[in-house]
Structure 1
Amino acid sequence: MAEKLIIRLGSHIHDPVHWLVWSNTETNIIASGELASASLLAELHDKSLTRQVLVLVPACDVALKQLKVPAKSKKAMQLAAPFMLEDDLAQDVEQLFFAYGDVKSADNQHNCFMAAIERQQMQLWLSWLADANIKVLCMLPDALALPDASDKWQAIQLGQQVILRQGDWQGITVDASLWPNICQTFSSEAIKVIESYSPLPEADVALEIESQPEELPLALMAQQLSGQKINLLQGEFAVKSDRSPLLKTWAWAAGFLVVALLVNVMLKSLTLMKINQQQVEIEQQIVATYKQAFPETRRVRIATIRSQLKRKMRAVGSGDHQAEFLALLAKVQPAFAAVPQLKPDSLRFDGKRNELRLQATADGYQQFEQFKVQLESQQLSVSQGTQNNQGDKVTGAFSIKASNGGRS
């Protein structure tokens, strides 16, 4: 998509939510703003419908770790890594969710780059977005969305928090009021130059700060998101992709096509009696169709079925109109299947009128009416003759032809 909706959530539902619409093609801000709390996220729903949605979360809620894990496969590495950190984490491993970054170590000192987040916090963020009906493709810590800090640290103040990136896989987010205390810890480190894209709170520690042209924090981060190295939405929180409306339309079309092909195959299978096929499956289908049409037949051999069928058709008067007879018979067959109590006594085909004349026996008058309804549902024109009681059975006649009076 040409535009992105970037949403930066807080740790708690009452924390402010910053948002920005960014144009990829124009590399420019379309709109931006701030919500008083996450409970108002529904106000961004309309903006999310036609844009790619990326969510930033405070790095203070994400522990970024890099390890050297002795494992031969990626799966084995990810199984072992959480337990290697067990002593360094404040929570139990079972309470945490671990996401893994796509990072290459320049010095080969590390081969596993991971982010640990409380599972409950992940569920909380996603519940806010779900309540607002906002679908998200990517979520990452805000500190990693700052420019690459390979040579210098990068910092910017967002609302009442300072975001600092200290390395390729290192960064923090702290309350502005705590910035002076955090700076005290830098005195024991080989601190690099800090490039700041906004004024920072004053600190008692002398820091080498290089002021950069001031940027709107989310606009600065938007320019880095195309090369993000981690998406927290993985594993149990991975995004389940929905089928697009276009794909659904094609699926329906493919379904109708399959049905049409099946119907076509069924109709053509009746004409396969003229063809000497060697495939066992087709031979069985021919035999089954023959027995269904002529249930009085006991034994059927595939080698002689063609001549037997010709004799049957001559007996019912089909003459030289075999194709019309077979097509009409194919439409009559489903009615026999639907009303099995009605049994044919005789069939005769009038080639000149393209009409099938049927004498049948059933248990009662109701079966004759049901049979007629089934024939008419096959777009056939049905004339019903007189019906007579023969003991506990009823006999009757039908004249059947295509509704248009032409070829079936």
Structure 2
Amino acid sequence: MSSPHRASLSSLEVRYLGMTLGVTVPAILLTVLLLGSTAYLACKRVSRRHLNRVSFRLLIYAVIANLGFIVVIPVDVLQYRYACAPVSFVRQFCLLFSACMSFCIMLNLELVLIHGNNGHNMEKYYLIGSFLLCLVCTVAPQAAGTLGWFDRTTRDCFLRNPNVPHGLAWLVGTQSFWLLFMAASQAALFGTIIIFMVQHELKRRQPLKNGVSIDELLVYRESPMVKYRDLILRIALYPILSCIFSAISTVITTVAMSNPSANYSPLIPILGPFIFLVRPLLFVVLAAADPGYVGAVGALRAQRRVQATAHSFDSTDGAAQKPANRYSERFFVALGRGSVNTGRASTATERSVENAAELPPALKGEEKAGGGDRGRGELDIKSQL
């Protein structure tokens, strides 16, 4: 015999199922599109170097983990009891692995910028450590017969809850603690990086007070928060997203498991999974807005414009093909530092491209002193971030 409350709950679940599919399907399609385009850009020589950055690869790993998470969400919503064990395993593992990748991005910036470690050498340790942590937090509760249990009270495929202390212990030990720990650590690392950037900028301003031109001094009179705003905003997205989602998920799951017999709102059992559906979409947007991805797309588009220009020159004058090729090689070096007009392959345009690739005026002396080795070193440091 069904109660009116149960009927209204079933109606709500039907509407929620429609909303879930309405969010999950676009999220899956956008994620597949992003991963496919990233693979295509990685196969192209002109755009591959823009993707050669540790933080971008870690972000792509997080996107892949989120894809595995959202794929099993419809199965969880449809409440297939026999698929509860694999669904809960994939959901738990992917959720933790995505959080680990966000944490590793911030940790890598800390180690590279402040402590001078090599990001490429540390990348394998990030992956191995994250994989082992997620494996332990997923296999241990499932081997103990706790994870992969269909709860009739909350109608959720998650942790078995024979008593409140037992269920909360597994929840905190295998998920909540690690999510909150990584979120708090990301916030702390972000604050450390901001302080380091400000201190570094203030130290570099001191030698500029004597014996420099007005133009050089104006460069360093800008606020550090303005000069590094793009980098700061990119770094800030990771701890902000992690803190928000970790806090929401921890509160919802802890409240639901602390007193499962309470008369909660019908939204409580379905609010948690629906909130996590937004996470993959935000990570896709974050990856699509990453400077490496944007630079790779811009380089590929610029190459096609240059090839079209060279082809038009070649059709009218065969001698124009060689200058266009020289122009294209210099053009791709300047990408990512500003927009360049590719309408003509003239000598004046080539000079503008070379100027676009130069360092700020205050750093020209250092570039001359360091030579080509300094340029290669700066490029290598950028790829480690």
**How high is the TM-score relative to the length of structure 1?**
0.22
The structure that is strand-richer by fraction is: 1
Larger radius of gyration: 1
**How high is the TM-score relative to the length of structure 2?**
0.23
Higher RCO, 1 vs 2 (CA within 8 Å, ≥6 residues apart): 2
